[in-house]
Structure 1
Amino acid sequence: MSSIRASVHQQQGAFAIEMAFVLAFLVTLFLFSADLSQQVLNRAKLDRVSYSLVNLVKERQRFYAEREPLSRADFLQIQEIAARLLHKSTAEEQDQFGISVQSLVEGTQVSFSKTFAGDTPCVPDNNISTLSELVPENDAGKRFPLYQVTLCMTSSSWYDKAIGQHLISATSVMPGR
């Protein structure tokens, strides 16, 4: 009987130590999950904004006096709209995202981009010229224009630091009318 009491008496601190390890693991797991969910929300926001911007660029007839080719002034307007949609109003906040807009009109490619976080370029996964097979034709054989908008943001999450990635990007491609 005394050996049982001695054994129980020696085990009293073990539960507290095990509980500390389990709680530390659960708190780390919770913070990691919250961090990942924040990254998913940021990616979803970039996807929505890039899709909205490519639709704006696509609607050349309504918004840009039926001009199909992109100009530098058009790009600056699109950049300003992107900043507003991403809630980046100050110059410091605007340095946190980059944008690349490309068009392919009658075989001619035009590209504009804005760097971010110093001199980090915002580069789409695929150049628009490699997507030329997506360009539809009308009955008369005229090829429609193709537009691509890519948005990039820096990421400050623990997960991205763990895998060595600090960039979130979203690309949307759309043929014009």
Structure 2
Amino acid sequence: MKHRVKQSGAFTVEAVFGITVLVMMMFFIGDLSQMLSAKTQASRVSYSLATSTKERLRFFDSRHTLSQADFDLINDIAADLLVRQAPEKQDGYGLTIESLTGSSSAPTAQKFSKDLDSGEKCNPGTDISALAHLRPTREDGVVFPIYQVTVCLKMEGFSQYFPGMRYANSSSVLPGR
């Protein structure tokens, strides 16, 4: 009987530990789904912006080089796209647009960026200079430019406290016309 008295409350302690682990797992799964959703959203927006950036003939008077005015216009489009998809993300995003133009022997790289609200840079995973081998060449020797658009979205929830999980980013690289 003395042995049974020492175990009173053991079930309660085990239940508290079990429920705590279960709640932590639920928070982790919720953060993971939020991270995947943000990554998908960033991919969708970056591809849309890269598509509009590469259409130099149609939208930008056949200029292959980017200007600050082009970046400002694309940044406004990004804000509008994010408002329609998730209004809370409109202010918490970063944007980087890079272009690689010029001949294959003397390429010219340009970079325009908007930092996240926290001051962190929105950097692509691969610099555009390392992607020079992706530039298509026409039969007559004309080398087309490539454009890389990177969108970074600020994360909310518990994942923001872990290094490398403060924001979700996605890059899209497309050749120009």
TM value normalised by structure 2: 0.85
The residue that corresponds to 1:137 in the other structure is 137
Corresponding residue number in structure 1 for 2:37 = 41
The CA distance in 2 between the partners of 1:69 and 1:49, in whole Å, is: 21
Cα 1:93/1:11, change in 2 over 3 Å:
closer
Distance apart, 1:29 and its partner CA:
0.7
The 5 Å alignment of 1:56-95 reads 56-87=52-83, 94-95=90-91
Q: Residue 79 of structure 2 aligns to which amino acid in structure 1?
A: A
Task: Could you tell me which runs of 5 or more consecutive residues in structure 1 were left unpaired when the two chains were aligned.
Answer: none
Letter in 2 for 1:36: L
Taking the TM superposition and a 5 Å limit, the aligned residue runs for 1:9-20 are: 11-20=7-16
Unaligned residue ranges in structure 2 (runs of 5+): none
Cα separation, 1, equivalents of 2:78 and 2:123: 16
Give 3-state SS (helix, strand or coil) of 1:170's partner: strand
Alignment root-mean-square deviation, CA:
2.2
Q: CA deviation at 1:126?
A: 2.0
Count how many residue pairs are aligned between Structure 1 and Structure 2.
170
1:39–1:157 Cα contact (<8 Å) kept: no
Q: Is the 8 A contact 2:159 2:166 kept in 1?
A: no
Shift of 1:23: 1.1
| CA–CA distance in structure 1, aligned partners of residues 111 and 35 of structure 2 | 28
Decide whether the 8 Å contact of 2:94 with 2:115 is kept in 1: yes
**What residue in structure 2 maps to residue 167 of structure 1?**
167
Quote the sequence identity (%).
39
